[in-house]
């Protein structure tokens, strides 16, 4: 394929849910745009993560675009929680429904994006040798799109089938009759392990850290309930927008887990456990669950007791029971018979905290205690979350540092959507935004709409550059830090903190002040003349500087 060149109003990097919606909105406003996508098709996270058991932990009717009534009425979900194949079909349906593919260039990975102060253009280079320029760059690269592969000695020597959950083959993999090893017991592994266990002759799971998980109780979609949801969509969406996590359908949390009598508290936990309401069903039981360690431990102990009651072997149950970490401080997985899987005779659990993996061998791997042989080895080792995809590109300003240099001590942004020193670059669901701590698709829509509205505003005012001030960014970073430190979030070694990546700065990356408050702040900043941003036009490179107020982000209500 010959290299291409071209100039556009906007370059969008990524053709997942964020990139597709950005393209739709940009076209609607009359902007020219080109989407550059590394994969051979649309879907982003749902294109790459094809591992067995991959499924969303938000109910299908809520994990859907809200912007088009026609789209909502034309698509029908088959399950309460959509699996990867159905979600990918939905995303492809959206791409075709709005004729989006004609502005997407597939099999094209962006390697660098450089902003030129003199031309006021981003120069975007790809691995195909293409060189595009645009006034604006929208990074729709996803929060979980860069797989992490541990640097195990000997990994390249392994002669069996080697798989990473984040880069699963497009063709189906059959593990029937095989000896299979899985490294990892995070959210991905918790979905994958029960499926592989049904096929494999024997499955050996290597666990470093036990994780909480709750049952999804997935089932066929309730067509009557889905019709009711659509009939009352505006009210439902308004409730989601005014919620903490961008979700509707949950009763308001009770005040404190410490106030209920034990019998009533356990009854309430049992009700939520049985509801299959996803991650948020358990974490929205009480208001103090994620801010008070004593209250949190009541919920954690409830789940620990569930693990002990499900897993028949007490020694295995003990290994699977999380200790010394608050429930919800890591991503709380939603499973389908995960703990029950360890009752099968063909499943073994190895504790690699006490017997670490020393190396991968030609036939399997070796821990400090013994050697194992496998026909297939699966790395369920997670992602370089939130920053990995952005820092994999050489993003820089000709007159300044690279993004990697700017984020050497951890990511910094203003609202999670723009970065000081990098004009006209928008990071959809970037670090410093609620993103992974809420219903992602509503976070995507809000961010895309904010970015496109901003670009449209600049055009209407005869402006063509916007960048956050350093002061505004520092204030936001400090506000986000204070919010997180008022909770139990920093207490766990989670990928939210970058703890799963060796050498990555330990910073709580999402914004945990809630979707409603975040949305309000974004709107207030716009209404206040894009407070905290510097904007300029073709002949005025230092105009319209608006510094934030002394207390730009008032304290959250208790």
303 domain-assigned? no
Strand partners, 125: 112, 131
Strand order in the sheet with 357-360: 357-360, 364-367, 371-373
3-class SS of residue 250: coil
Query: Hey, how many other C-beta atoms are within 10 angstroms of the C-beta on 364?
Result: 18
pLDDT score for 456 = 98
| 346 Cβ neighbours under 8 A, 6+ residues apart | 197, 200, 201, 202, 203
237 domain-assigned? no
User: Assign residue 246 a region: left if phi > 0, alpha if psi is -120 to 50, beta otherwise?
Assistant: left
pLDDT score for 540 = 55
116 domain-assigned? yes
User: Assign residue 173 a region: left if phi > 0, alpha if psi is -120 to 50, beta otherwise?
Assistant: beta
Query: Hey, how many other C-beta atoms are within 10 angstroms of the C-beta on 313?
Result: 12
> What's the whole-number mean pLDDT along residues 496-525?
97
pLDDT score for 296 = 97
Q: Which two tokens stand for residue 297?
A: 């431990």
pLDDT score for 545 = 46
Total domain count, the chain = 1
On the question of pLDDT at 550 being above 70, the answer is no
> Do the beta carbons of residue 517 and residue 525 sit within 8 Å?
no
What is the distance between the alpha carbons of residues 133 and 118, in angstroms, rounded to a whole number?
13
Closest CA relative to residue 249, chosen from 229, 230, 219, 234: 229
70 domain-assigned? no
**Domain span holding position 417:** 5-42+100-146+385-536
Q: What is the DSSP-derived secondary structure letter of residue 381? A: -
Instruction: Express each pLDDT in 277-297 by its tens digit.
Output: 777 788 889 999 999 999 999
pLDDT score for 551 = 58
Which residue spans within 193-254 are E strands per DSSP? 202-207, 214-215
Q: Which two tokens stand for residue 172?
A: 């189906």
pLDDT score for 249 = 80
The tokens 């051979």 sit on which residue?
Answer: 40
pLDDT score for 557 = 40
132 domain-assigned? yes
> What's the whole-number mean pLDDT along residues 129-141?
98
On the question of pLDDT at 251 being above 80, the answer is no
pLDDT score for 387 = 98
pLDDT score for 554 = 59
The confidence band for 424, taking pLDDT boundaries of 50, 70 and 90, is very high
415 domain-assigned? yes
Instruction: Express each pLDDT in 303-329 by its tens digit.
Output: 999 999 999 999 999 999 999 999 999
Closest CA relative to residue 65, chosen from 442, 427, 370: 442
DSSP 95-157: HHHTT-GGGEE-S--EEEEEEETTTTEEEEEETTS-EEEEEEEEE---SS-SB-----TTGGG
Q: What is the mean pLDDT of the chain?
A: 95
Specify the range with the lowest mean pLDDT, choosing from 85-89, 277-281, 311-315, 475-479: 277-281
3-class SS of residue 280: helix
More confident residue, 275 or 394: 394
pLDDT score for 502 = 96
376 domain-assigned? no
What is the distance between the alpha carbons of residues 380 and 180, in angstroms, rounded to a whole number?
13
Specify the range with the lowest mean pLDDT, choosing from 92-96, 193-197, 235-239, 410-414: 235-239
Which residue spans within 235-356 are E strands per DSSP? 334-335, 347-351
CATH classification at residue 416? 3.50.50.60
Q: Which two tokens stand for residue 342?
A: 């360890």
129 domain-assigned? yes
Distances, alpha carbon 76 to alpha carbons 64, 73, 514, in Å: 11, 7, 29
> Do the beta carbons of residue 109 and residue 102 sit within 8 Å?
no
The tokens 């050498």 sit on which residue?
Answer: 503
Instruction: Express each pLDDT in 149-186 by its tens digit.
Output: 999 999 999 999 999 999 999 999 999 999 999 999 99
On the question of pLDDT at 558 being above 50, the answer is no
On the question of pLDDT at 541 being above 60, the answer is no
Instruction: Express each pLDDT in 357-395 by its tens digit.
Output: 999 999 999 999 999 999 999 999 999 999 999 999 999
pLDDT score for 7 = 97
What is the distance between the alpha carbons of residues 192 and 54, in angstroms, rounded to a whole number?
7
Instruction: Express each pLDDT in 1-12 by its tens digit.
Output: 578 889 999 999
Q: Which two tokens stand for residue 266?
A: 């356990």
pTM of the model: 0.95
């Amino acid at each position: 394929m010959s290299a291409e060149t071209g100039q556009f109003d906007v370059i969008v990097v990524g053709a997942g849910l964020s990139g597709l919606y950005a393209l739709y909105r940009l076209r609607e406003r009359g902007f020219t745009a080109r989407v550059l996508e590394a994969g051979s098709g649309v879907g982003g996270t749902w294109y790459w993560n094809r591992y067995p058991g991959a499924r969303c932990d938000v109910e299908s009717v809520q994990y859907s675009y809200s912007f088009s009534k026609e789209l909502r009425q034309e698509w029908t979900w088959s399950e309460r929680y959509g699996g990867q194949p159905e979600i990918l079909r939905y995303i492809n349906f959206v791409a075709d429904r709005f004729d989006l593919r004609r502005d997407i260039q597939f099999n094209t990975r962006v390697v660098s994006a450089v902003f030129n102060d003199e031309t006021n253009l981003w120069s975007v280079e790809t691995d195909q040798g293409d060189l595009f320029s645009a006034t604006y760059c929208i990074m729709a690269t996803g929060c979980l799109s860069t797989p992490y592969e541990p640097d195990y000695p000997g990994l390249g020597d392994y002669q069996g089938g080697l798989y990473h959950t984040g880069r699963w083959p497009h063709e189906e993999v059959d593990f029937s009759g095989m000896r299979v090893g899985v490294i990892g017991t995070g959210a991905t592994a918790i979905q994958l392990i029960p499926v592989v266990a049904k096929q494999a002759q024997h499955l050996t799971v290597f666990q470093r850290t036990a994780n909480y998980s709750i049952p999804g109780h997935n089932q066929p979609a309730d067509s009557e309930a889905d019709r009711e949801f659509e009939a009352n969509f505006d009210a439902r969406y308004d409730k989601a927008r005014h919620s903490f996590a961008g979700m509707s359908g949950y009763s308001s949390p009770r005040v404190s887990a410490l106030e209920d009598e034990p019998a009533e508290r356990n009854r309430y936990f049992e009700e939520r456990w049985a509801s299959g309401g996803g991650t948020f069903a358990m974490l929205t039981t009480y208001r103090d669950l994620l801010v008070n360690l004593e209250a949190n431990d009541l919920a954690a102990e409830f789940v620990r007791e569930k693990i002990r009651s499900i897993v028949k072997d007490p020694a295995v149950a003990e290994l699977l029971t999380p200790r010394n970490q608050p429930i919800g401080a890591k991503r709380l997985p939603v499973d389908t018979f995960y703990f029950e899987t360890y009752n099968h005779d063909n499943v073994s659990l190895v504790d690699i905290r006490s017997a670490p993996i020393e190396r991968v061998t030609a036939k399997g791997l070796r821990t400090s205690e013994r050697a194992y042989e496998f026909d297939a080895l699966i790395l369920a080792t997670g992602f370089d979350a939130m920053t990995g995809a952005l820092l994999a590109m050489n993003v820089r300003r000709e007159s300044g540092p690279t993004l990697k240099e700017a984020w050497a001590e951890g990511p910094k942004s203003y609202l999670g959507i723009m970065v000081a020193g990098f004009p006209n670059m928008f990071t959809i669901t970037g670090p410093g935004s609620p993103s992974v701590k809420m219903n992602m698709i509503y976070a995507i829509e809000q961010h895309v709409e904010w970015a496109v509205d901003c670009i449209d505003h600049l055009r209407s005012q005869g402006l063509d550059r916007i960048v956050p001030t350093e002061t505004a960014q520092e204030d936001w970073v400090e506000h986000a830090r204070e919010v997180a430190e008022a909770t139990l979030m920093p207490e766990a070694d989670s990928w939210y903190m970058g703890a799963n990546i060796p050498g990555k700065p330990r910073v709580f990356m999402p914004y945990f002040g809630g979707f409603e408050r975040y949305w309000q702040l974004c709107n207030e900043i716009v209404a206040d003349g894009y407070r905290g941003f510097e904007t300029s036009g073709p002949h005025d490179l230092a105009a319209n500087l608006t510094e934030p107020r002394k207390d730009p982000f008032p304290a959250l209500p208790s």
